[in-house]
Amino acid sequence: MLDKLFNPRSVAVIGASQKALSIGNVITKNLLKYSYKGPIYPINPKADEVCGLKCYPSVGAVTGDIDLAHISIPAKFTPDAIDECGKKGIKFVIINSAGFKEIGDAGLAIENETLQRARQYGLRIFGPNCQGIINTDPQLRAYCDFTFTYPEEGHVSIVAQSGGVGALYMQAIHDLGVGMRFYASNGNACDISIPEILRYYGDDEKTRVIILYAEGFADPGDFMDAAREVAAKKPILGMRSGRTAAGAKAAASHTGGLAGVGLSTELIFKKTGILAFRDVEEMCQAAMAFATQPIPKGNRVGMITDTGGPAVIATDELCDAGLEIPPLSEKTTALLKEKLFPEASVRNPVDVLATAAAPHYRAALDVLMDEPGIDSVYINFVTPPFVDTESVAKEMAEVSNKRIKPIVCNYMTDKPQWTGTTAYMKEGGIPCYDYPEMAAKALAALTRYNALKSRPKTAVTVFSDVDRARAAEIIQQARNTDRKMLAADDVYALLGSYGIPVASCRMARDADKAAAEAEKIGFPVVIKADAADLVHKTDAGGVALNLNDAAAVRKAIAAMKKNITTPDLQFLVQQYLPGGREIIIGAKKERSLGHMIMFGIGGVLVELLKDVAFELTPVTAAEAEAMLRSVKTYPILAGYRGHKGVDQAQLITIIQRISQLVTDLPMIREMDLNPIVTFEDRVVAVDARIIIS
């Protein structure tokens, strides 16, 4: 429980100082400036007084209890300071000082020593190399941080390991006039973790929406558990960065190469129900809407505008985001005709005209709140100097406060002049945006959250017709021979043992055997060369397609033997399946996360456009189906313009079976089924690669 960390009844600042530009000084000043309600104990053996407060030589010298201590002295003195805190019975310390893990081995040693000592006292560490926490509760006003934004009380809580980004979020929320509940930035996070903080926010009644910044996770599994638990209770808005950083090491498979940097964070967000953003401003602006507005039940927007151009811009943005501005019902249209100016447009967008007064807006809002074909309301409101805009805002606020459907507003005004109108908008909790695109994006985020929450939920299917023992045995045998890439026949046997349809095939050492196997399989066949070190068999001339008789098989094998000279050369004889659409499905192991499963439509779409979908194991049927639907060229699967589609149900099953396979056999590092040849009623893997560790 982090209660005393976020609700400290008293705070000590070890390293408090008179020096204006020191961290200990800034923290003491912040506690004072924010009117912290508990006692503040500056600790500094060399000072009698800091910022007008009595200063103590050590925490031991303080007579009262201390709930929380800041440590802002050089890193090397920190372990001893921990001893003192432990002896005093302090349960939480925030170590603001730098000089720990982030500077290398020497710092890491101090960090470990610090943590070890803390554990002896049951003392929890926040940090080191961090900012701290803020609690805006008016009964407490704990500003235990050296940042510079002094937020109002509110319902948005922020957690970010990176202090720079955390401070950026806090300032953005503050500049938007949105109140904050908690702030936490835990830097090196040697003890108290993001998942713990998330859970604390999840249990906090006053926190309505959480903003999270992630650059990576020490324990992804723990994070996922916490995120899933908290996201079920309230919206978490998350951002990941580092998406373009060079350096995704060249991987041995398509799946590895296409995943890119930091993708797993995005997949974790999706899987646990965190709403993902890629832009700071967009996320913070969305948080403003989440803090006051209900969640829409669908994507149908009713628009009210008093100006033309911005409505066009908003329409573009909403449609780009997949929202609709549908026609209104006859009843609604008739009501609008009755209540608006005769020149007003009563279609959707509803143009009330620049001269519209309060009753017009009220009528339009009431009608849209009643209209069953509308899920949310977007308002473009420019404040004409010839309109009583305060009464307009008053009506908007009244409707907004009923919380029937979400409202966002592109509020186009000069705020220093329109203070009265602006105050009414705020009173009504109407999220006001300076730009039509921003208002549209915020509404799109609310709508996207509804879609995320109402995703079809299916349980993970467990296929009982699999032969796990056989699969494990195949892998163990390969390991025994130090083979990293499984032999072709092993690959097909392994896939077969998990019920994944593969083209009939047999392995052959020479041309005679190959010709005989081909007769059994039936012509036409394919011959593929196989050897432990043969990674790119096509490039090496090791693939011969569409062989129609034994002579052709012999000829192909003779040619391959010339090109490829490894002693362990074998030949896979396989049924040839011409035509069909090529699909690629793969898996790649992720540290502490199981595997990432990939789906894509083969050929140029995967190679040049990277039009692929990813999901973390275990993949449910609903998730597998969503993967298929999320590729841009999904119509290829569904059928389009006279082209027949493919057997999607089978692909969905294969994705799930592969998910089960790699979950059962985590020693599979990477695998590709490439291609899976698909037809209207049939799906067959004709080439595959499995790499084990």
Show the binding pattern over residues 25-54: x = contacts its own copies (CB under 8 A), - = does not.
Answer: xx----------------------------
**Candidates 424-432, 452-460, 602-610, 678-686; binding stretch for its own copies (CB under 8 A):** 602-610
Reading the block at residue 289, the tokens are 């809407």
115 binds its own copies (CB under 8 A): no
List the interface residues with its own copies, window 354-393 (CB under 8 A): 380, 382-388
- Please report the sign of the dihedral spanned by the C-alpha atoms of residue 485, residue 491, residue 494, residue 499: positive
Pairwise CA distance, residues 444 & 293, whole Å: 13
Residue 424 to residues 333, 366, 481, 529, Cα–Cα distance (Å): 28, 18, 75, 76
When the beta carbons of 173 and 231 are compared against its own copies, the nearer one is 173
Binders of its own copies in range 418-447 (CB under 8 A): 434-438
Per CB under 8 A, 463 contacts its own copies: no
Residue 122 and residue 90: Cα distance in Å, rounded?
Answer: 9
Choose which of 295, 559, 609, 621 interacts with its own copies (CB under 8 A).
609
Among 86, 310, 428, 618, binds its own copies (CB under 8 A): 310
Residue 307 touching its own copies (CB under 8 A): yes
> CA–CA separation, 612 vs 607, rounded Å?
10
Residue among 96 and 656 whose Cβ is closer to its own copies? 96
Distance in angstroms (rounded) separating the CA atoms of residues 405 and 399: 9
Rule CB under 8 A: which of 232-261 touch its own copies? 241-245
316 forms part of the interface with its own copies (CB under 8 A): yes
> Is residue 414 within the footprint of its own copies (CB under 8 A)?
yes
Q: How many CB atoms lie within 10 A of CB 469?
A: 9
Return the number of the residue (132 or 618) whose C-beta is nearest its own copies: 132
Residue 651 CB, shortest distance to its own copies, in Å, is 18
Of the candidate residues 146, 182, 361, 424, the single one contacting its own copies (CB under 8 A): 146
By rule CB under 8 A, what string of x and - marks binding of each residue 78-107 to its own copies? -------------------------x----
Residue in this structure with the two tokens 């006279």, named with its chain if needed = 642
- Contact flag: residue 540 with its own copies (CB under 8 A): no
Total of chain residues touching its own copies, rule CB under 8 A: 76
The one among 64, 164, 221, 639 contacting its own copies by CB under 8 A: 164
Give Cα 546 to chain centroid, integer Å.
45
Residues 6+ apart with CB under 8 A from 388: 357, 358
- Residue 14 Cβ, how far from its own copies at the closest point, in Å? 17
User: Using CB atoms within 10 A of its CB, is residue 466 exposed (0-12), middle (13-18) or buried (19+)?
Assistant: middle
Burial class (CB in 10 A: 0-12, 13-18, 19+), 289: buried
Binding mask 2-21 for its own copies (x = CB under 8 A): -------------------x
DSSP 326: P
Q: Which is closer to its own copies, CB of 48 or CB of 607?
A: 607
Strand-strand pairing, 53-54 and 49-50: antiparallel
On whether the CB atoms of residues 550 and 521 are closer than 8 A, the answer is no
In the complex with its own copies, the residue whose CB is nearer, 213 or 571, is 213
| Contact residues for 198 (Cβ-Cβ < 8 A; gap 6+) | 159, 210, 212, 223, 226, 227, 230, 236
With respect to its own copies, which residue has the nearer C-beta, 359 or 666?
Answer: 359
Figure out which of the listed residues 44, 97, 135, 149 binds its own copies, where binding follows CB under 8 A. 149
Helix, strand, coil percentages, rounded to 5, for the chain: 40, 20, 40
Using the rule CB under 8 A, is 539 a contact of its own copies? yes
Integer CA distances (angstroms), 489 to 333, 506, 508, in order? 68, 7, 10
How near is the Cβ of 239 to its own copies at its closest, in Å? 8
Q: How far is CA 616 from the centre of its chain?
A: 12
Instruction: Please say whether the beta carbons of 169 and 145 come within 8 A.
Output: no
Place of tokens 């050590």: 58
Binds its own copies by CB under 8 A, chosen from 228, 398, 636, 663: 636
Nearer Cβ to its own copies, position 8 or 436?
436
SS3 624: helix
Footprint on residues 464-503 left by its own copies (CB under 8 A): none
- Least distance to its own copies from the beta carbon of 29, Å? 8
Near its own copies by CB under 8 A, which window of 53-61, 170-178, 420-428, 619-627?
170-178
Cβ neighbours for 31, distance < 8 A, ≥ 6 positions apart: 11, 13, 40, 142, 143, 144
Helix (H, G, I), strand (E, B) or coil at 30: helix
Q: Which of 202, 256 has the CB closer to its own copies?
A: 256
175 near its own copies, rule: CB under 8 A: yes
Give 640's DSSP letter.
B
Looking at the DSSP bridge assignments, the partners of residue 160 are 213
Of 330, 562, 641, 681, the residue at the interface with its own copies (CB under 8 A) is: 641
Q: Which of 343, 465, 533, 681 binds its own copies (CB under 8 A)?
A: 343
> What minimum distance in Å lies between the beta carbon of 257 and its own copies?
12
| Residue 13 C-beta: closest distance to its own copies, Å | 14
Mark the segment that binds its own copies (CB under 8 A) among 279-287, 420-428, 509-517, 644-652.
Answer: 279-287
Q: Which of 635, 639, 644, 649 binds its own copies (CB under 8 A)?
A: 635
Min dist. Cβ of residue 114 to its own copies (A): 20
CB nearer to its own copies: pick between 262 and 594: 262
Distance of alpha carbon 511 from alpha carbon 269, whole angstroms? 52
With CB under 8 A as the contact rule, the residue among 79, 177, 260, 308 that binds its own copies is 308
Of the candidates 264, 315, 653, 659, which one interacts with its own copies according to CB under 8 A? 315
The CA–CA distances, whole Å, from 518 to 493, 494, 502, 504 equal: 18, 21, 16, 10
Least separation in angstroms between CB 96 and its own copies: 11
Q: Which residue stretch of 397-405, 501-509, 523-531, 634-642 sits at the interface with its own copies (rule: CB under 8 A)?
A: 634-642
Q: Residue 128, preceding bond cis, omega within 30 degrees?
A: yes
CB of 455 to its own copies, least distance (A): 25
For 29, the token pair is 């000043």
- At position 22, the amino acid (one-letter code) is S
Residues 95-117 as b or e (16 or more Cβ within 10 Å = b): bbbbbbbeeeeebeebbeebbeb
Could you tell me the smallest distance in angstroms from the CB atom of residue 445 to its own copies?
Answer: 16
174 binds its own copies (CB under 8 A): yes
Burial of 567 (0-12, 13-18, 19+ CB in 10 A): exposed
- Smallest distance, its own copies to C-beta of residue 632, A: 6
